[in-house]
């Protein structure tokens, strides 16, 4: 793979010998991801990771423009239930994002999760190659490592690696999870399922529905955890950690470390979402926006390429419907002459198929099903 580790002597986009597919295949064959490139000692990033100038953003400016205070931080231990529902509803309506504290998950577990997911990304090259799974989403494999799920159909790859763990409807066999993170992942699985149900219940109440209206296998049966690893990038102004996008399903619950890099779009401005000690980040997905008939907003977000020598770790747990073929659309309780229906009916397999074949920075899936 000499063309990937030649200290930046990559052809420019105008040079005819540049073959993106070939270079992507060379990168894929290493089975070591972006961290493998960093470990090789590169000082310039390969051409396949270089994004067009119009899609890039200045990480230094992002750090300086600190609007962290705009994203709500909600205390889930407050005794006034109606106030809690109102705060969560308002955040889901205005931002599609919020952070929760006093959520019932021990802060020590969150710290251990960060350490464990970092550790599994930093196992030996031989061990990591054994975990490599390109087609993990379509094959239903319970655990796997990959880099850039859209590697072969995006215009440019992003500077990150991922592991994926299936938590529902059929949880992964614990023996398939590497020992370096097994106990933490299994403990987190139990906690996050309970928290996800609780949050969706509160969000349901925020729509004027019963607490249990959107729970269970129908709406929350498919659960996947993705552990993202953002290594140091020698040229952070030429690539991104994660392109601007929205999440697919109902709800995402995120653990993030203190390195920073996550940004949320609000009123056409990008807001840094810095980690609050002990907090979890929550965001609304495309399907929840559709079900709510646009009462809730699917939060657009991105991650800039990591300019720091310390890797960034973030762990997202995604909740989606358990059945591929059930039809979903705006909930009938939310439709009236004053609030006409905004989306057509769809099944989740159709939504998932479009999601897996889109580029990460394409528009929300919700827009493709609008009437």
Q: How confident is the model at residue 64 (pLDDT cuts 50, 70, 90)?
A: low
- Three-state secondary structure call for residue 88: helix
Residue 1: what pLDDT? 42
User: Which tens digits make up the pLDDT trace of 100-131?
Assistant: 999 999 999 999 999 999 999 999 999 999 99
| Tokens read off for 245 | 């996008």
Mean pLDDT of the chain: 89
User: Which tens digits make up the pLDDT trace of 26-52?
Assistant: 999 999 999 999 999 999 999 999 998
347 near 324, Cβ under 8 Å?
yes
Question: Is pLDDT at 19 greater than 80 in this prediction?
Answer: yes
User: Which tens digits make up the pLDDT trace of 178-220?
Assistant: 999 999 999 999 999 999 999 999 999 999 999 999 988 899 9
**Selected residue with higher pLDDT from 62 and 42:** 42
Q: Which of 66, 10, 5, 3 is nearest to 238 (CA)?
A: 10
Q: How confident is the model at residue 368 (pLDDT cuts 50, 70, 90)?
A: confident
Q: Which CATH architecture has domain 2-369?
A: Sandwich (2.60)
Q: Which range is least confidently modeled, 4-13, 71-80, 146-155?
A: 4-13
Is residue 240 packed enough to be buried (19+ CB in 10 Å), middle (13-18) or exposed (0-12)? buried
Integer Cα distance of 9 and 236 in angstroms = 17
Pairing of strands 280-284, 97-101: antiparallel
Cα dihedral 130→40→308→13 (10° resolution): -100
Q: Which residues of 116-134 are buried (b: 16+ CB within 10 A; e: fewer)?
A: bbbebbebeeeebeebbbb
Residue 7: what pLDDT? 44
User: Which tens digits make up the pLDDT trace of 268-313?
Assistant: 888 888 889 999 999 999 999 999 999 999 999 999 999 999 999 9
Pairing of strands 97-101, 73-75: parallel
Residue 4: what pLDDT? 47
| Count of CB atoms situated within 10 Å of the CB of 287 | 25
Question: Is pLDDT at 11 greater than 60 in this prediction?
Answer: no
Residue 75: what pLDDT? 98
């Amino acid at each position: 793979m000499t063309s990937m580790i030649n200290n930046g002597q990559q052809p420019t986009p105008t040079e005819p010998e540049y073959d993106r597919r070939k270079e992507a295949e060379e990168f894929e064959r290493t089975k070591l991801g972006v961290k493998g490139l960093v470990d090789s000692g590169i000082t310039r990033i390969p051409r396949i990771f270089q994004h067009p100038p119009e899609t890039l953003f200045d990480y230094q400016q992002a750090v300086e423009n600190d609007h962290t205070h705009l994203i709500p931080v909600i205390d889930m231990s407050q005794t006034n239930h109606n106030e809690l529902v109102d705060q969560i509803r308002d955040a889901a309506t205005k931002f599609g994002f919020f952070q929760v504290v006093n959520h019932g998950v021990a802060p020590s577990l969150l710290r251990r999760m960060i350490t464990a997911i970092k550790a599994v990304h930093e196992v030996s090259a031989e061990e990591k190659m054994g975990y490599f799974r390109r087609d993990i989403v379509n094959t239903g494999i319970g655990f796997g490592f990959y880099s850039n799920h859209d590697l072969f159909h995006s215009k440019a790859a992003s500077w990150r690696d991922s592991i994926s763990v299936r938590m529902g409807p059929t949880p992964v066999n614990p023996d398939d999870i590497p020992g370096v993170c097994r106990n933490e992942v299994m403990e987190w699985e139990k906690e996050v399922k309970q928290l996800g149900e609780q949050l969706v219940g509160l969000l349901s109440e925020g729509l004027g529905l019963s607490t249990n209206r959107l729970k269970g296998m129908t709406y929350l049966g498919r659960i996947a955890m993705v552990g993202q690893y953002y290594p140091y990038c020698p040229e952070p102004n030429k690539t991104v950690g994660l392109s601007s996008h929205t999440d697919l399903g109902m709800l995402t619950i995120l653990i993030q470390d203190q390195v920073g890099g996550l940004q949320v779009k609000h009123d056409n401005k990008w807001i840094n979402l810095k980690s609050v000690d002990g907090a979890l980040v929550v965001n609304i997905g495309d399907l929840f926006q559709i079900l709510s008939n646009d009462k809730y907003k699917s939060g657009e977000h991105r991650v800039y390429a990591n300019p720091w020598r310390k890797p960034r770790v973030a762990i997202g747990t995604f909740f989606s419907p358990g059945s591929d073929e059930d039809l979903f659309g705006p909930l009938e309780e939310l439709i009236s002459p004053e609030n006409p229906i905004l989306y057509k009916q769809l099944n989740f397999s159709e939504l998932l198929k479009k999601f897996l074949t889109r580029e990460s920075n394409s528009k929300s899936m919700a827009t493709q099903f609008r009437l």
